[in-house]
Structure 1
């Protein structure tokens, strides 16, 4: 049995699809554990123990004062923490389960036209595709100067659309396939993906900063925490710092892409127009680029609700793209 036939086996396909959810399960488990470690081990047990043993509560007034400190410190930690966690998880699940945007039926080619394309020579095929797409809003070209056609999906590719070999479909304004969300980051969920990275970055920073005092107490061996809490607090700090630095580079990179109105694929391979390759072809300026993804209303910028401009098929261009170019 060849590799290609093996990959088409229903059992193999099912196992691969199941395996692709492992990173999502891993992230979910880490978040659940960090929630327990932060809320219960840090805020309820460690903060209480740290304050109670720091204030020798021999009198009622001192004990009452210690209780107020516990409640205040817990509120200062827990209220912003829960707000961040809610926004993080909301953005994460919206990235995974949001609507998948594919090419509309207008870009599809009939089976008879597909047969004609496969039987014709290169020159006839290029002419036929050009004839089919006279009425389509397509500006991008392939490396030969022809219109981009996907044989697997049997469609004329809209501008910035690409075929994902893992998802098996062409997606509008595809950025990349992300294993951590088990889906393609594209027009329909790119805003959610950036918010997911942003809130992950904020959450890790918040946990690390608020955990630092108790992490130091663990190493100075002040004896104010239970052994179980010490374990959770130590690893919570390490995990928060590790994810903070790993997310920082990815988040910064996508903020830069947003400022340029460029996808990850376009940063490696410039889109080709009638005047030739141009990485700045969709760059409208930082402010307009930001609004292309996050929308015009500031109310929706920081919440994972779809507010991107456009339909994912046609995009405003940075300049006139009709200049002549000699394709190789």
Structure 2
């Protein structure tokens, strides 16, 4: 037991190494740009002020989004998806798989669940002892089920999912902007140092290396950001891109694709003034999502077309005001 706890403690410590590496690189880039380039190399005061102003805007937005991507806790399913004590006891005592399957079907009748396991059974997490909402997956690193899980990112030491996917996208975008601004403003001084128009000094190494690092991160981040832009346009997670969600009629990669505009609004919300800021504006609560076709938007397990939340009255885990704007009910079908 003590050995296991020690290993887990070491694992938690080592999991922060990628974050520490990124933080060190960013802090060094701040020193190299602000002091070595702007204070020690630039001679034009107006140019120096302009560079410092824009740089600090990019730097603050990068740090803000990175912080939010790291320290925003991933959302987990509410208690409605957990088995009650009696249901859990009945499920564990039963040894026949077909009866266990029927028990889960009976429990899921009043839940907004449209996807299935590959076998067609209800998606159930033995570790968390809950019925998985659509797009929810168990993370072996976080050791819990994550709503709309995209992937576990070591560079933010966090699961990227419903609660912080917008922050992760903004982190990538501001990282690219940060690299582009550094590269474009450093390039001319890189050339001057390279051809020795500027005298050799301690600033030379920092300026030369700063351009290489910025370009290296720009190339790698651009491919990653482009891939996630494609995922947002298709309304898929990274996991769904590799393994299509299974509906009653079979696997369908575009099951949650409701059109580019509404896909975008699901992640960034309707208030466009907040799109560029790392504040949570995503639609819904992560437990259910609009579906592409009306036939799929009706849960075949729901008795008498009962809808999510109708039988429970107020729930301490529910979100105020969402009952009137249930995205799984009000669906416009695209031709």
TM-score range, shorter chain: 0.7 to 0.9
Q: 166, 174, 180: which is aligned to 1:191? A: 166
Partners of 1:227 and 1:149 lie apart in 2 by 63
Report the equivalent of 1:279.
Answer: 253
Matched, 1:166 2:141: yes
Matched, 1:132 2:83: no
Report the equivalent of 1:28.
Answer: 23
Deviation sequence 1:30-51 (CA, Å, 0-9, x none): 0000000001101111112xxx
Alpha-carbon offset, residue 288 of structure 1: 0.8
Report the equivalent of 1:298.
Answer: 272
Deviation sequence 1:183-224 (CA, Å, 0-9, x none): 1000000000000000001110110110000110111011x2
Q: 117, 121, 129: which is aligned to 1:154? A: 129
Alpha-carbon offset, residue 99 of structure 1: 3.1
Give unmatched runs, 5+ long, in structure 1: 49-69, 324-328
TM-score, normalised with respect to structure 1: 0.88
Alpha-carbon offset, residue 110 of structure 1: 2.9
Q: 18, 37, 46: which is aligned to 1:42? A: 37
Partners of 1:191 and 1:174 lie apart in 2 by 13
Contact map agreement 1:215 1:234 (CA 8 A) in 2: yes
Contact map agreement 2:256 2:291 (CA 8 A) in 1: yes
SS at match of 1:72: helix
Report the equivalent of 1:244.
Answer: 218
TM-score, normalised with respect to structure 2: 0.86
Matched, 1:201 2:176: yes
SS at match of 1:184: strand
Partners of 2:88 and 2:202 lie apart in 1 by 65
Contact map agreement 2:183 2:215 (CA 8 A) in 1: yes
SS at match of 1:24: helix
Partners of 2:255 and 2:263 lie apart in 1 by 12
Contact map agreement 1:172 1:186 (CA 8 A) in 2: yes
Partners of 2:200 and 2:129 lie apart in 1 by 63
Contact map agreement 2:179 2:215 (CA 8 A) in 1: yes
Deviation sequence 1:55-101 (CA, Å, 0-9, x none): xxxxxxxxxxxxxxx22101221111111111111000001111321
Partners of 1:226 and 1:90 lie apart in 2 by 36
Q: 8, 14, 28: which is aligned to 1:13? A: 8
SS at match of 1:317: coil
Give unmatched runs, 5+ long, in structure 2: 299-335
Contact map agreement 1:274 1:322 (CA 8 A) in 2: no
Partners of 2:257 and 2:297 lie apart in 1 by 17
Partners of 1:225 and 1:130 lie apart in 2 by 75
Q: How well do the aligned residues superpose, as a CA RMSD in angstroms?
A: 1.7
Larger radius of gyration: 1
Alpha-carbon offset, residue 114 of structure 1: 2.8
Deviation sequence 1:287-315 (CA, Å, 0-9, x none): 11111000001111000000000000010
Partners of 1:113 and 1:285 lie apart in 2 by 39
